[in-house]
């Protein structure tokens, strides 16, 4: 079982990266998780999408290959989306343009909204109504909103912290349980249901 964490902030050493490292540590502690990968969009490593991606010989495709390989090898995802201007960062939406069902189809993704203050719901809402049509990714019902992010998850102890810090650590453990349950079930479903993907219908309606 492999989970890949996607850090949706373009900032280097972002708070979203900190949250991702915390979740990565908690997932790595589990016996039922073999590997936890990470794609960090800090520093903008993924170029803006353009139509050369669809050409047979494409430099863009070569650039994206390691990222697509990382997504393909995962059984589930954690998508960390900081709230920027009440939105998901553009770089994360750009990265999602490259996703297809070959990499992410019928695999669960837990959304994590992040805010430096008391916000963080907008990126959750935005992802919940977008991004799944062609990628065929499946958002889990349990999501997280890490508010006042500077004050929480500043060490790796799942039982640490006080107040909202303690609460979000406890909720994270539960959300991780749900993600792994879906990842196990969906993996079995993909293996036993080959017609989940159909060459005539790679794009949803
Ligand atoms: C361009 C930009 C826009 C932001 N807009 C919002 C916002 O709309 N709501 C909010 O709660 N925080 C906003 N923030 C603050 C972030 O929540 C804060 O930087 C937090 O640390 C998460 O971002 P990070 O993962 O990039 O560090 C914004 C930050 C940036 C860089």
Domain ranges of the chain: 2-192
* Reported confidence tier of residue 143, pLDDT bands at 50, 70, 90: very high
Q: Is residue 89 within 6 Å of ligand 1 at its C-beta?
A: no
| Residue with the two structure tokens 């998901």 | 88
- Report the distance separating Cα 16 and Cα 7, nearest Å: 6
Which pair of tokens denotes residue 26?
């908690």
Mean pLDDT, the chain, as a whole number? Answer: 97
Which atom of ligand 1 is least distant from the CA of 9?
Answer: 26
Whether residue 68 has pLDDT greater than 90? yes
What is the pLDDT, as a whole number, of residue 89?
98
pTM of the prediction? Answer: 0.98
Q: Which of 84, 86, 90, 124 to mutate to test the pocket of ligand 1 (most atoms within 8 A of CB)?
A: 84
Taking CA atoms only, the protein residue closest to ligand 1 atom 6 is 84
Q: What would the mean pLDDT of 194-199 be, rounded to a whole number? A: 92
User: How many other CB atoms are there within 10 angstroms of residue 98's CB atom?
Assistant: 20
Q: What would the mean pLDDT of 50-56 be, rounded to a whole number? A: 95
User: How many other CB atoms are there within 10 angstroms of residue 200's CB atom?
Assistant: 4
What is the pLDDT, as a whole number, of residue 14?
98
Render pLDDT for 163-190 as a digit per residue (tens, 0 to 9).
Answer: 999 999 999 999 999 999 999 999 999 9
* Reported confidence tier of residue 194, pLDDT bands at 50, 70, 90: confident
Q: Is residue 141 within 6 Å of ligand 1 at its C-beta?
A: no
Domain 2-192 CATH assignment equals 1.10.132.20: no
- Report the distance separating Cα 139 and Cα 129, nearest Å: 10
What is the pLDDT, as a whole number, of residue 66?
98
């Amino acid at each position: 079982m492999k989970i890949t964490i996607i850090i949706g902030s373009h900032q280097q050493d972002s708070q979203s990266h900190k949250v991702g490292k915390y979740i990565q540590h908690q997932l790595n502690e589990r016996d039922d998780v073999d590997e936890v990968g990470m794609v960090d969009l800090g520093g903008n490593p993924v170029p803006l999408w353009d139509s050369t991606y669809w050409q047979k010989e494409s430099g863009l495709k070569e650039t994206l290959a390691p990222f697509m390989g990382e997504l393909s090898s995962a059984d589930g995802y954690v998508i960390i989306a900081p709230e920027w201007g009440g939105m998901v960062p553009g770089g994360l939406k750009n990265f999602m343009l490259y996703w297809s069902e070959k990499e992410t189809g019928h695999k669960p993704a837990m959304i994590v909204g992040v805010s430096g203050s008391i916000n963080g719901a907008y990126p959750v809402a935005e992802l919940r109504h977008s991004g799944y049509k062609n990628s065929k990714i499946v958002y889990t019902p349990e999501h997280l909103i890490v508010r006042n992010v500077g004050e929480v998850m500043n060490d790796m102890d799942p039982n640490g912290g006080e107040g909202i810090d303690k609460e979000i650590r406890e909720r994270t453990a539960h959300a991780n349980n749900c993600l792994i349950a879906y990842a196990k079930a969906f993996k079995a479903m993909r293996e036993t249901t080959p017609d989940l993907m159909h060459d005539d219908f790679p794009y949803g309606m």
